[in-house]
Chain A
Amino acid sequence: MPAGREVAIVGIGASKFDSVTSGISYKELMYEAAVHAYSDAGIDVRNDVGSFICCAEDFWEGNSISDEYMPDQIGAKLRPLFTVCGDGLLGLAHAYMHVLAGVSDLVVVESHSKLSDVTSKDLVEDLGFDPHFGRIPGVEPKYLAGLEMRRYLEESGNTHEDCASVVVKNKRNALRNPRAVYGDNLSNQDVLASEEIASPLTKREISSPADGSVVVVVASAAKARRLSGKNKPVWVSGISWFSDTPNVEEMDLGQALYASNSARKAYEMARIRKPLTQIDFAEIDDTYAYKELQHIEALGLAKRAGKFVSSGKADPDGQIPINVSGGSLGMGSFVEASALVRAYESALQLRGEAGKMQLHNPKRCVVQSWRGIPTQSGVTAVLSI
Chain B
Amino acid sequence: MSEKVKFFPGREISSKAMESGEVLTKYYSADLNYSWSTGIAVTRFLQELKQGKIIGRKCNKCDRVLVPPRIFCEDCFRTTDEWVYVKDTGVVNTYSIAHVGTDASRLKEPMYIAVINVDGPTKGMGFLHYLGEIKSEHEIKVGMKVQAVWKPENERTGSILDIRYFKPI
Contact = CB atoms under 8 A, between A and B. Distances in A.
A22 B42 CA distance: 13
B70 A72 contact: yes
B144 interface: no
A21 interface: yes
A45 B72 CA distance: 14
Interface stretch (B4-12, B32-40, B119-127): B32-40
Contacts of A72: 70, 72, 74
B34 A119 contact: yes
Interface in B5-63: 26, 28, 30-43
A138 interface: no
A199 B72 CA distance: 47
A380 B143 CA distance: 55
Q: Which of A28, A72, A117, A120 has the most CB of B within 10 A?
A: A28
A120 B74 contact: no
Contacts of B41: 25, 28
B36 A27 contact: no
Contacts of B70: 27, 72-73
Contacts of A59: 32
Interface in B64-87: 70-72, 74-77, 79
Nearest to B27: A131
Interface string A30-63: 0100110010000001100000000000010010
A118 B32 CA distance: 8
A23 B74 contact: no
A114 interface: yes
A75 B74 contact: yes
Contacts of B33: 118-120, 123
B74 A24 contact: no
A230 interface: no
Contacts of A144: none
B151 to A, nearest CB: 25
Is chain B's interface secondary structure helix, strand, loop, or mixed overall? loop
A127 B41 CA distance: 32
Contact of B72 (A73, A116, A118): A73
A25 to B, nearest CB: 3
Contacts, number: 76
B107 to A, nearest CB: 25
A337 B57 CA distance: 30
A132 to B, nearest CB: 6
A241 interface: no
A46 B40 contact: no
Contacts of A123: 30-33
A45 B40 contact: no
A26 interface: yes
A124 interface: yes
A77 interface: yes
A117 B74 contact: no
Nearest to B32: A120
Contacts of A127: 30, 32
B37 A21 contact: yes
A28 B31 contact: no
A312 interface: no
Contacts of A352: none
Contact of A25 (B35, B36, B75, B76): B36
Nearest to A60: B34
A37 B42 CA distance: 24
Contacts of A77: 74-75
A71 interface: yes
B26 A25 contact: no
Contacts of A71: 74
Contact of B37 (A24, A38, A131): A24
Nearest to B75: A77
A117 B39 contact: no
Given A26-B39, A73-B74, 15 more contacts: A24-B39, A25-B40, A25-B41, A28-B40, A31-B71, A31-B72, A35-B79, A59-B32, A62-B32, A62-B36, A72-B70, A75-B77, A77-B75, A117-B35, A120-B31
21 contacts: A24-B37, A24-B39, A25-B39, A25-B42, A26-B36, A38-B77, A46-B77, A62-B36, A72-B74, A73-B74, A75-B74, A75-B77, A77-B74, A77-B75, A114-B36, A116-B37, A120-B33, A124-B32, A127-B32, A131-B26, A132-B26
Interface of A: 21-28, 31, 34-35, 38, 45-46, 59, 62, 71-73, 75, 77, 114, 116-120, 123-124, 127, 131-132
